[in-house]
């Protein structure tokens, strides 16, 4: 009930779209009874969690921050939710987010923006802004978001907390409303690496409902953080990334200083050449909008949620009216872009090219991890900006994803850890990426840096 009070007291932040008071209290009572019975307790016994409004929780509304799902109730639990509940977590509510997880500032939600708790005039980042602020403002202990191109790492950076995107296929996507299926991954927000590691351990793992989940055994992530003797890491960074014109000089300097410090501590920190930097944002937006245009075709006014009422002439007109009124501006932009890049005359010029870029990035990545344990980079080129500052210029907003989309294009895990403070008063993070299936190294190194 402490967290219920906190959520009420911080209502103005708009981080929660709904608080599951009754179910949360019922789960708490069940957990109390379990404790009294002396039976073994789950790994997340009593841990208060909130979930992004794109993750299905049976019997509860899920809206993907959109009007088009109006009145829709989940008919099953996402696998991640199922595992959280089984481990004794209390799911306290669902978090506001950008519509269908499309955005970088949480200005695209049909239910209004989420405010950054450190500075209410600034955005919390997106698209999982509500989940980030829920942890930032102490409204829950950990939260789940989704990361298709940075939506966990970027708001974590803007809010001064930890945000982990596991490797593609580490956590089941069953029950996660799809944006771009070959990029989407559930991610975790927290304030301690150990909390994030424990949550990952609980929700990761193979699932009959998602064939893309890795069958690799799940490492004991939380144990891997205990009693580790200090290691010397082989760390790579992309020189071009630190010299990119879009990068804020303070952020560049902070990372350069960190590199020198890590070197003096005996780690190997070396630049590697990376000439594909300017292609990754275009490739990302071509491939994700293509996948989104297909994934979002299911919202036709009939199967789910919102439906146009009376004045439609025929079925096509009904689809048009339902979708025109149900989807917001950004989602429509992406559907149109995705349909365009997939259309017969343009497929090869855009979609095929972007797939080639993706393949080249995967090859480069393989080479880098042949020689290094991790890659470090900024999470975002600038710290949390003010509301309205970028919302009129979608290209500028897209370009700010330059450092985060890489991990999703190649499927590797990435984390943002709050190491720095900007002169504008807001925090910013360092991004660490590791090879596929190597979240252990990511978590260990992050823990040693914090």
Is residue 328 involved in binding ligand GLN (CB under 6 A)?
no
Minimal CB distance residue for ligand GLN: 151
Bridge partners of residue 95, in order along the sequence: 16, 52
Please tell me what DSSP assigns to residue 12: G
Q: Which of 50, 63, 104, 127 is catalytic?
A: 127
Is residue 149 involved in binding ligand GLN (CB under 6 A)?
yes
Residues 180 and 435: their CA atoms lie apart, in Å, by 21
Of 45-53, 77-85, 100-108, 354-362: span binding ligand GLN (CB under 6 A):
100-108
Shorter beta-carbon distance to ligand GLN: residue 147 or 207: 147
Is residue 130 involved in binding ligand GLN (CB under 6 A)?
no
Q: Which of 422, 423, 412, 267 has its CA nearest to residue 431? A: 412
**Is cis: bond before 127, omega within 30 of 0?**
yes
Shorter beta-carbon distance to ligand GLN: residue 48 or 51: 51
Residues 318 and 302: their CA atoms lie apart, in Å, by 9
Of 27, 50, 79, 288, the one binding ligand GLN (CB under 6 A) is 288
Residues 399 and 307: their CA atoms lie apart, in Å, by 35
Burial class, 102, CB count within 10 angstroms (exposed 0-12 / middle 13-18 / buried 19+)? buried
**CA 385 vs CA 96, 111, 431: distances in Å:** 19, 20, 19
Q: Which of 165, 182, 208 has its CA nearest to residue 52? A: 165
Is residue 102 involved in binding ligand GLN (CB under 6 A)?
yes
The interface with ligand GLN within residues 176-215 (CB under 6 A) comprises 179
Which of 172-210 are b and which e, b meaning 16 or more Cβ less than 10 Å from the residue's Cβ? Answer: bbbbbbbbbbebbbbbbbbbebebbbbbbbbbbbebeeb
- State the nearest-atom distance from the C-beta of 330 to ligand GLN, in Å: 8
- State the nearest-atom distance from the C-beta of 129 to ligand GLN, in Å: 11
Q: Which of 151, 322, 391, 416 is catalytic?
A: 151
Of 147, 195, 207, 373, the one binding ligand GLN (CB under 6 A) is 147
Of 65, 93, 113, 150, the one binding ligand GLN (CB under 6 A) is 150
Shorter beta-carbon distance to ligand GLN: residue 145 or 205: 145
Residues 164 and 440: their CA atoms lie apart, in Å, by 12
Shorter beta-carbon distance to ligand GLN: residue 79 or 128: 128
Whether 151 sits among the annotated catalytic residues: the reply is yes
Of 10, 66, 95, 127, the one binding ligand GLN (CB under 6 A) is 127
Residues that bind ligand GLN (CB under 6 A): 101-104, 127, 146-151, 179, 288, 401
**Residue numbers annotated as active site:** 52, 127, 151
């Amino acid at each position: 009930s402490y967290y219920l009070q906190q959520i009420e007291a911080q209502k103005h932040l708009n981080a929660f779209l709904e608080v599951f008071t009754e179910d949360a209290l019922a789960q708490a009572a069940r957990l109390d009874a379990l404790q009294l019975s002396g039976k073994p307790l789950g790994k997340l016994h009593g841990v208060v969690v909130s979930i992004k409004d794109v993750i299905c929780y049976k019997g509860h509304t899920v809206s993907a921050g959109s009007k088009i799902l109006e009145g829709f109730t989940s008919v099953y639990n996402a696998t991640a939710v199922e595992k959280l509940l089984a481990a004794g977590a209390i799911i306290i509510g669902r978090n506001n987010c950008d519509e269908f997880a499309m955005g970088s500032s949480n200005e695209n939600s049909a239910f209004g923006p989420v405010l950054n708790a450190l500075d209410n005039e600034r955005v919390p980042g997106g698209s999982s802004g509500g989940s980030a602020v829920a942890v930032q403002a102490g409204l829950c202990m950990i939260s789940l978001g989704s990361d298709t191109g940075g939506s966990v790492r970027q708001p974590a950076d803007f809010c001064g907390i930890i945000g982990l995107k596991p490797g593609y296929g580490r956590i089941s996507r069953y029950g996660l409303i799809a944006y771009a299926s070959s990029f989407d991954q559930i991610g975790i927000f927290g304030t301690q690496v150990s909390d994030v590691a424990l949550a990952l351990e609980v929700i990761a793992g193979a699932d009959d409902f998602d064939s893309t989940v890795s069958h690799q055994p799940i490492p004991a992530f939380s144990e891997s953080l205990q009693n580790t003797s200090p290691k010397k890491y082989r760390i790579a960074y992309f020189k071009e990334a630190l010299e990119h014109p879009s990068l804020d000089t303070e952020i560049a300097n902070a990372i350069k200083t960190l590199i020198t410090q890590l070197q003096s501590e005996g780690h190997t920190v070396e630049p590697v050449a990376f000439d594909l930097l300017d292609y990754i944002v275009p490739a990302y937006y071509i491939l994700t909008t293509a996948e989104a245009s297909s994934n979002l075709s299911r919202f036709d006014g009939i199967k789910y949620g919102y439906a146009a009422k009376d004045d439609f002439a025929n079925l096509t007109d009904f689809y048009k009216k339902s979708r025109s009124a149900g989807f917001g501006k950004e989602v429509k932009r992406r559907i149109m872009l995705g349909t365009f890049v997939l259309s017969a005359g343009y497929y090869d010029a855009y979609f095929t090219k972007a797939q080639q870029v993706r393949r080249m990035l995967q090859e480069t990545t393989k080479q880098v991890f042949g020689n290094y344990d991790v890659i470090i980079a900024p999470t975002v080129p600038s710290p949390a900006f003010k509301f309205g500052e970028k919302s009129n210029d979608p290209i500028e907003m897209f370009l700010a994803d330059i450092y985060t989309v890489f991990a999703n294009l190649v499927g590797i895990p990435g984390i943002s850890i709050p190491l720095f403070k900007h002169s504008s008063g807001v925090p910013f993070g360092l991004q660490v990426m590791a090879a596929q299936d190597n979240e252990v190294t990511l978590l260990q190194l992050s823990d040693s840096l914090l």
